[in-house]
Amino acid sequence: MTGNLLARSVHDLTAAAWFGGSLMGAIGLNGAAAEAREPAERTRLSSRGWMKWAPIQTAAFAAHLAADLAIAWENRERIAKQDSVGADTIYKTAVTVAGAAVTLYAGVLGKKVEKLAGQGAEGATEPGAGASDKLQSAQKQLKALQWAIPVFAAWVIVLGAKHGEMQRPKNVFKGLR
């Protein structure tokens, strides 16, 4: 039972942190910041909260990738020999990388929103009436990405569960080439 227990645990816990942190930020942090009395405080507070989360999320991504590599190394023969495991591994890697890119770009947009916070807003990702085109564009994109990120994270979790199911003896036996 000890083979990949640590790597699998880190893999699943870091994916859970990505999912839960992103969802909580989009719902809880942005929702709470939208209740600030001053319009300029709404984007500033939300941005501060997301920036406090960023180092944890970055560490989770790094640990997730390290765990992925450890799991792939341990399962390299199965990836090469069991039907569809190699393709699913490539697919899961692509989804993870795409999700990481979306998360990174959301951080870039968040910094842009933070710099323009003085213009005020209805909410963290909802532009105010007098907001510049630059702020409106960044907030609209950020809103879409903040909802896409938990989707990517959930997708990675589901694909990880699929990989686990593929390791059941009956599935390994069926899939050996």
Q: What is the structure's pLDDT at 31?
A: 93
Q: What is the structure's pLDDT at 166?
A: 78
Q: What is the structure's pLDDT at 173?
A: 66
For residue 78, which amino acid is it? R
Q: What is the structure's pLDDT at 163?
A: 83
Q: What is the structure's pLDDT at 175?
A: 62
Q: What is the structure's pLDDT at 104?
A: 94
Q: What is the structure's pLDDT at 27?
A: 95
Contact yes or no for 42/124 (Cβ under 8 A): yes
Contact yes or no for 127/42 (Cβ under 8 A): no
Q: What is the structure's pLDDT at 176?
A: 65
Strand partners, 82: 176
Distance CA 53, CA 57 (A): 6
Q: Which DSSP string do the residues of the chain spell out, in sequence order?
A: --TTHHHHHHHHHHHHHHHHHHHHIIIIIHHHHTT-SSHHHHHHHHHHHHHHHHHHHHHHHHHHHHHHHHHHHHTHHHHHHBTTHHHHHHHHHHHHHHHHHHHHHHHHHHHHHHHTGGG-BSSSSSB-TT--HHHHHHHHHHHHHHHHHHHHHHHHHHHHHHHHHHTSHHHHHHHB-
Cβ burial of 95 (10 Å; 0-12, 13-18, 19+) is middle
pTM for this structure?
0.88
Q: What is the structure's pLDDT at 126?
A: 92
Q: Which two tokens stand for residue 173?
A: 């036996």
Cα dihedral 74, 68, 154, 152, rounded to 10, equals: -140
Contact yes or no for 46/117 (Cβ under 8 A): no
Tens digits of residue pLDDT in 112-135: 999 998 898 998 899 988 899 999
Q: Which residues of the chain have pLDDT under 70?
A: 1-2, 171-177
